[in-house]
Amino acid sequence: MKALVVEGGAMRGIFAAGVLDSFLEQDYQPFDFAIGVSAGASNLVGYLAKQKNRSYQVITQLATNRQFFNPTRFIKGGNLVDVNWLVTESARQFPLDKQTLFSGTPLVASATNIETGQAEYYQVTSDNLNRVLEATSALPIAYKQTPCFSGGCYTDGGVADSIPVIEAYRRGAKEITVVLSHPLSYQMPHSRTSWLIKRLLTEHPMIGEALANRAERYNHCLDFIRNPPRDVTIRVIAPPETFAVKRLTMKRDLLDDGYQMGRVEGEKHLASREGVYGLTIENCHFCV
């Protein structure tokens, strides 16, 4: 089985938007299932609906809007980011081709259960689409609402599983393509403010604990990618070292540059798969 895994990272998702648009241009959709987290799930919705540029428009036109990101509102006790508004407005301004989306490759999104601090994975359907997209992107502290459905309440999937490559393997994938939102050299540093986060999340102690251990989980996924089991091939598409987009970057020129980097890396990945560069799994593990 072939799986596509797309990391989140808020505005850093602009890189994956470029990668997936390059895939759409070449009608490249060979996957048996896809798993996304936060912005990665949103990007995958546009890709699996075969709507080129949708994710780019959502990020550059809506995620930069003050209705979504508003520090003044946050200081006054409101949301720093209004995820529900973004999900609802995305559906209104850029309607999805749901027939295409739900008739092809199954999409799974991860969310973190606030009671257990563990990742749970939901197949996205026409019935739960908006709820799952809200839950997988519901940044703790920055988003005050707690999305609840299917008997549980959730926060951002990246809290417990930022790169669900191990989940893809657990589901039987033997060929996994991973789109990251950091360069390959990245290692997540351990938080120096975990004590403060735990204090801010006293009502949800398991989320505070999960955030405190997030770097360990994240780097464990990177280790899995770099040293996969013998029975799986993992191919990675990652931003170059010059990728300057951060989690809350709002500057259009930086976002456009990040999108173009994604397009370039996506095109390079497809070219390498076709043997254009003469690369193989033996001489370029992360390229092929």
CA separation for the pair 18, 101 (Å, rounded): 19
Active-site annotation holds for 156: yes
Angle of CA points 11, 67, 123, to nearest 5°: 55
CA proximity to 197, closest of 179, 174, 214, 222: 214
Q: Which of 21, 82, 156, 161 is catalytic?
A: 156
CA separation for the pair 253, 259 (Å, rounded): 10
CA proximity to 39, closest of 29, 47, 50: 47
Q: Which of 38, 42, 110, 181 is catalytic?
A: 38
Active-site annotation holds for 97: no
Residues acting as catalytic residues: 38, 156
